[in-house]
Amino acid sequence: MGVATTVDGASAGLHERPVEAATSEAFRSTNLDIVRAVAALAVLTGHSYILSGHYLNPAELRPDHLLLTNMAAGVWLFFALSGYLIAGPHIAALAAGRPLPDLRSYALRRVSRIYPLYLVAFLIAALVAPISPISHWWQWPVHLTLLHNLVPGEEQAVLFASWTLTIEALFYLVVPIAARAVRRVHPGPIGLAPLTGGVLALWAGSLVLTAMADVVQPTHIKVGLWLRFLLPSTLCMFCPGLLVSVAALHREDGRVGRVWRSLRDRPLAWLALAGVFGLMGCLLETRTWSSFIYDAERIPFAVASGIVVALAVAQPERRSLPFRIGAALGLVSYGIYLWQAVILQIVFPKRLWLAPLARTGPLPLLVHWLYLLALTLVLSTVSWFVLERPVMTWARQYARRQRQRRLTGPAGPPLRPPVGTTSGTERSPAPSR
């Protein structure tokens, strides 16, 4: 595979690495791991209120309620990260006219990353939850194959946080298919304008589909809700990451270069701008009486997520203690996301006696957050070292062996043709004496 490089070597970004290797967890970015940690902890914080035995009113405009009810928007940040990390190597290959990432290695790494831990978390949620979430046999294959988000009413039926995993899995599937379709139509390198235009068209199309689902919801509530959270409607939340991938390839070209240098030199200003867009999303999300206005929050949240991901890519890697702690949390962020949901489903609503201070208020909220965080960190750390990392390491090594085998053949390295015969259109050189 070729190397999709950028001119700027100041920051070790995704596109400075081999296209195929860039999809591997062996190559990690401290900054992006910190963003993963922020997204996972945001979701955990928003859900920790459930340990009080109550739900927050999403229409409440009190600052603390507004913040807590919108912490679950951390899932949008996860989607933007996936847009950059998963689609990025494919976009880099299309832009350079180089080979696309190997499909078998890509598929093996994606499955090994999300499925083993999901399987464990799903089985615990299905078998240990005080109220059995499974009442029909067909729910087992639907959820075990990560297809539950495609069945109306099953999105959060067993493990409520896993609705995003169907979307992620389908995104993993769509990316290489779309990249190969584009390559078939346009086999050569693709410039900045076509790539940017394609991503923006995809973004706009996804928003149109979301609006169409919002039109359906008032008369068909279940179907409308289902349509709003399918991949076509949520694809708009991956698009900011795709745009960051395109921009990273042209980080020294004209206007893109000026914006990229601004991201590198003025991070606080850009973070403030992301905060403004995030606040806009929070305010729109309080308009629960209209799903159309409610879903308009996807636009500012997507912009805010894109800015955060762009900042993480543009900024140089830092190795001070706070950044190392954030990166360590990023390593176990997937576990944090799943285990907090498992814990909440075991405790709420029938086992609230397991939660300390099961009531509302600032002090109980702090206690609940610390309680949920402590349990989640223990479980996610154990699952990382016992399950996730070993499986991913095996997947990388297996993919590497298979790649070597395809290159060398089953009987070892290819033999040189005999002297005096031809290989292709060229004659083998005579052996040196």
pLDDT value for 313: 96
pLDDT in tens, 38-68: 999 999 998 888 777 666 666 666 666 677 7
**pLDDT higher than 50, residue 261:** yes
Reduced to 3 states, what is the DSSP secondary structure of residue 423? strand
88-110 confidence digits (pLDDT tens): 999 999 999 999 999 999 999 99
pLDDT surpasses 60 at 147 = yes
Q: Confidence class of residue 294 from pLDDT cuts 50, 70 and 90?
A: confident
Task: Examine the pLDDT at 262 and tell me if it is beyond 50.
Answer: yes
Model confidence at 206, pLDDT cuts 50, 70, 90, reads: very high
Q: Which residue has the higher pLDDT, 205 or 133?
A: 205
Per-residue confidence (pLDDT) for residue 432, from 0 to 100: 37
Mean pLDDT throughout 130-152? 90
Judged by phi (left if over 0) then psi (alpha if -120 to 50, else beta), residue 317 lies in beta
In the three-class reduction of DSSP (H, G, I as helix; E, B as strand; rest coil), residue 402 is classed as helix
pLDDT at 7: 30
pLDDT in tens, 331-376: 999 999 999 999 998 887 667 667 777 666 778 888 889 999 999 9
Q: Please report the pLDDT score of residue 253 as a whole number.
A: 83
Q: How confident is the model at residue 23 (pLDDT cuts 50, 70, 90)?
A: very low
Burial of 22 (0-12, 13-18, 19+ CB in 10 A): buried
